[in-house]
Amino acid sequence: MKKKVSVIGAGNVGATTAQLVVQSGIADAVLFDVVEGMPQGKALDMAEACPLWNSSSTIKGTNTYSDTSGSDIIVITAGLARKPGMSRSDLLHANANIVKGVCREIAKTSPNAIVIVVTNPMDVMAQLAWKTTEFSCKRVIGMGGILDASRLAAFLSWELDVSPEDIEALVLGGHGDDMVPLPRFTTVKGIPLPELLPKKRIEFLIERTRTGGAEIVSFLKSGSAFYAPAASTFQMIKSILLDEKRMLPCAAYLNGEYGIKEIYMGVPVILGEEGVKKIVELKLTKEEKAQFKKSCESVRKLIKNLGI
Ligand code: TXD
């Protein structure tokens, strides 16, 4: 039997993630949303593309949690985008209510699933999902660092005129304005970035990475990025389902690693069939440590604001 991936929230990121799963053929998918008809319509459309994709995966769109039961992976993309007049804090509470509701349901219907949290503010929502499901922290993981690193890799490939295939970028910290891109650990075929570009240029590309999400929002006007976020989520799904043991920057629960306790933070982890197999600890410089700590404080503030 094929593995089962359920995507909660059939909007831009959710539907595109489901598409990547079904198109790859590595699992069957269920697309869930509270909007009636929308997940059914998108799922039917994808199912009708399967013959063209040579995929034997199935996909079902639904408004009923029982259809997601027994999932191997649950991806949470359900949430609201910020509307005019809405503060970040309003969004925090609105999305927290949605994620909490989703987690209560999936904990009952898919008690053995690995949960990938995408909804923003992602690090905080990952913490909330872990608390609400009461799953082992190895089985609740946030998606953010892969996307940030992919953005940096794309900018570097244009800057250096080299294939993105040969670029390994690494970004730590929370998935927010104070993420911590690491030039020392960003390499082109093994050559560290500081040997390839002047400091000023690296700083410019790092700043573009930090504001990468906003750059896309400013073009789209309504809605935010979804192709690269879905591709990032799919990389996690694949590493888990195929037990690839990829080392990927994800939000994981830190309990002493990096000198940080009891919060979700973006760090390199090894992802396999049981979820987080290992948190990889890097030796950071004083400056990198300070940036990482600052990023942790921002996430901690939001967690406090939510009272979790
Ligand atoms: O790197 C990252 N982690 C991110 C996060 C990258 C991109 C997007 N990021 C966040 O993901 C974004 O800020 C949002 O919080 C989520 C989903 O983004 P998307 O672009 O897919 O948003 P949409 O298109 O508005 O889709 C959200 C869907 C929409 O169809 C709603 O009807 C649905 O969520 N929704 C729900 N589904 C299930 N259950 C409930 N309660 C619910 N409420 C809304």
Per-residue model confidence as pLDDT tens for the chain (308 residues): 899 999 999 999 999 999 999 999 999 999 999 999 999 999 999 999 999 999 999 999 999 999 999 999 999 999 997 776 767 678 899 999 999 999 999 999 999 999 999 999 999 999 999 999 999 999 999 999 999 999 999 999 999 999 999 999 999 999 988 899 999 999 999 999 999 999 999 999 999 999 999 899 899 988 899 999 999 999 999 999 999 999 999 999 999 999 999 999 999 999 999 999 999 999 999 999 999 999 999 999 999 999 98
Q: How far is CA 24 from the centre of its chain?
A: 19
Token code pair at residue 40: 């059914």
**Nearest 10 degrees: CA dihedral of 121, 125, 128, 129?**
180
The protein residue whose alpha carbon is closest to atom 1 in ligand 1 is 144
CB of 34 within 6 A of ligand 1: the answer is yes
Degrees to nearest 5, angle at CA 77 with 153 and 126: 80
Ligand 1 centre distance from Cα of residue 126 (Å): 14
The protein residue whose alpha carbon is closest to atom 14 in ligand 1 is 119
93 is catalytic: no
Q: Based on the number of CB atoms within 10 Å of its own CB, is 52 exposed (0-12), middle (13-18) or buried (19 or more)? A: exposed
CB of 118 within 6 A of ligand 1: the answer is yes
SS3 248: strand
CB of 176 within 6 A of ligand 1: the answer is no
Task: Say which of 175, 210, 246, 300 is annotated catalytic.
Answer: 175
The protein residue whose alpha carbon is closest to atom 13 in ligand 1 is 120
Q: Please tell me the pTM assigned to this model.
A: 0.98
CB of 20 within 6 A of ligand 1: the answer is no
